Amino acid sequence: MEKDIIQKLKDSGLTGRGGAGFPAGVKWEAVKNASQKFSVKTYIICNAAEGEPDVFKDKFILDNYLPEIINGIKIALNTFENSVAYIYLNHNYYDESKDKIERTASGLPISLVKKPDKYIAGEETSVIEVIEGKRPEPRLKPPYPTEAGLWGGPTLINNVETFYYVSKVSKGEYKNTRFFCVSGDVKNKGVFELSENFTVKEILRQTQNFPEADFFVQVGGGACGQILLTNELNQPVCGAGSIVVYDKEKTDLFELMKKWADFFIKGNCDKCVPCREGVYRISEMVKTRKIDKKILEDLCFVLENTSFCPLGKSAAISFKSLINKLIIPTGKLF
């Protein structure tokens, strides 16, 4: 007897590609159990909210592999009884791709929702709030969406890339690959499908993007990702699958941090004080080009340990890693 898709997903080892890396089969199984337990409508959300700077793999997949994505969603619809689906699109992607997606998904119970122009609106519980017609704010967890998500029903939320690979798993075509976007000071910017176990160094070499000049990279996201130096590249890429390369000599580190700070200030929900005020205080230091190490450490500690959602926690990673690895060693600290 052929295995069902949930068992196939578990056997494949596929993890979610939205950033958290949670096992896809385990999530699908939790939704299935909840839907059977409560006998209520089940909701499926394909999250294409992608909005971090220099992260563009979901757009590439939407443009090039839309039938596979829709097939992945269709598999979910067939797996969960009494279910409907939503494709939650970055506001720019919505305007560009709406008609094409509707044609490809014709006949299926799939609705399209346009994400507000705010980064936090892509966080999974904020996605639920927006679809319900509310302000984009994260919800307290637990309960998790798998049990009580959209309108209180069991809800499966997976990234665009995850649904693409669900389709591949169902056909026995999944080869433990994932998509990486490489950008910045490189010759061959783009999106590449490679082994998910490749290190940063291997990806840069395989894509002909290993720089000749001295450089550093930001890995995982274009704002939330951590900074790695050239002697730290023998590790896999986490998070959103992004590698941004910076020429060490040409990059103004304070301008880079200002770009991050502006992004986080615009993109947060303003709900919790640690994130709202913490990033603002870091932004003020960056603007003056004077970093007080003790104050920075205190701000990052508060962001990491008391922020309501992952946005504040992840914001600290980029600032702290850049300052510790690139600012302090140069003596540009006050």
Per-residue pLDDT tens digits for 93-119:
999 999 999 999 999 999 999 999 988
Are the C-beta atoms of residues 130 and 110 closer than 8 Å to each other? no
CA–CA separation, 179 and 256 (whole Å)? 25
Model pLDDT for residues 8-61, shown as the tens digit of each residue? 999 999 998 877 778 999 999 999 999 988 778 999 999 999 988 899 999 999
Tell me, what CATH number does 306's domain have? 1.20.1440.230
pLDDT at residue number 1: 33
Question: At 290, phi and psi to the nearest 5?
Answer: -130, 115
- Percent of the chain whose predicted confidence (pLDDT) is above 90: 66
143 upstream amide cis, omega within 30 of 0? yes
Same domain, 28 and 85: yes
The DSSP 8-state label assigned to residue 147 in this structure reads T
Same domain, 194 and 220: yes
**In the predicted structure, residue 334 carries a pLDDT above the cut 60:** no
Same domain, 243 and 257: no
Containing structural domain, residue 322: 253-330
HSE-CB at 6 with a 13 A cutoff on CA atoms is 13
Q: What is the mean pLDDT of residues 156-183?
A: 96
> In this predicted model, which residue has the larger pLDDT, 16 or 64?
64
**In the predicted structure, residue 145 carries a pLDDT above the cut 80:** yes
pLDDT at residue number 3: 63
How many domains would you assign to the chain?
3
- Percent of the chain whose predicted confidence (pLDDT) is above 70: 97
Q: Which residue has the tokens 């008391």?
A: 306
Are the C-beta atoms of residues 68 and 107 closer than 8 Å to each other? no
Of 247, 282, 308, the residue at which a domain comes to its end is: 247
pLDDT at residue number 134: 95
Same domain, 14 and 95: yes
pLDDT at residue number 45: 98
CA–CA separation, 97 and 21 (whole Å)? 26
pLDDT at residue number 2: 47
What pTM was computed for the model?
0.93
Model pLDDT for residues 279-315, shown as the tens digit of each residue? 889 889 888 888 888 888 888 888 888 888 878 888 8
Q: What is the mean pLDDT of residues 248-255?
A: 94
**In whole numbers, what is the pLDDT of the chain averaged over residues?**
91
